Chain A
Amino acid sequence: DGGITQSPKYLFRKEGQNVTLSCEQNLNHDAMYWYRQDPGQGLRLIYYSQIVNDFQKGDIAEGYSVSREKKESFPLTVTSAQKNPTAFYLCASSIGRNSGNTIYFGEGSWLTVV
């Protein structure tokens, strides 16, 4: 089946640890995105990538890092610099970055600081 796979679904982070959330898509999409969602809130853009080896910061990039070494993969690292990382993280992709394109989402990853 075509789609976006995020893993793990649930992740616990200790203080001072870096953790990486995986996102893989087999839709052959050029653009990929990471959003953060806090309970009862909307989505905030962390990073996005239009093409392999290129990515741009979104509205809340501080404390996060990404890479785009392969078209199908866009992992997100939550670093120890992110002071309040507990949230629901959503990876998404689209054919291109044009706003007329549909964005397809993964099922999300819950990150909790313990």
Chain B
Amino acid sequence: SQQGEEDPQALSIQEGENATMNCSYKTSINNLQWYRQNSGRGLVHLILIRSNEREKHSGRLRVTLDTSKKSSSLLITASRAADTASYFCATDDSGNTPLVFGKGTRLSVIA
């Protein structure tokens, strides 16, 4: 199965800074989703962006999608210590198949 690949693998920033994570994928998609996982817990859905959308906002989150480059980015503005978690992108392959998750970016926000 095709898989989104997040970059960087790990990111450490100070509280109040912005955090940017990237996701690249291989084949055409219908949708791309971002999820968050606190250590040892289940994943929680953050935001979905459709292939015909270029940008979406949700609170302090901003997601962009560039289908020509097959990439997406997740920006967390004014980060907080509570944002410390792993962040995953999930993609389909434009068919009716289950989402495929990347390996994630581990974000550490230092107070």
Contact = CB atoms under 8 A, between A and B. Distances in A.
Interface string B34-50: 01000011111100101
A52 interface: no
B102 A102 contact: no
A102 B103 contact: no
B42 A42 contact: no
- Give the interface residue-count category, chain A: 20 to 34
Contact of A97 (B30, B98, B100): B98
A105 B44 contact: yes
Interface residues of B, number: 29
Nearest to B43: A105
A97 B96 contact: yes
Interface string A33-70: 10100001111010010000000001100000000000
Contact of B88 (A43, A88, A97, A102): A43
Interface string A75-97: 00000000000001010100001
A58 B104 contact: no
A103 B50 CA distance: 15
B45 A104 contact: yes
B42 A100 contact: no
Interface of B: 1, 3, 29-31, 33, 35, 40-45, 48, 50, 88, 90-92, 96-104, 106
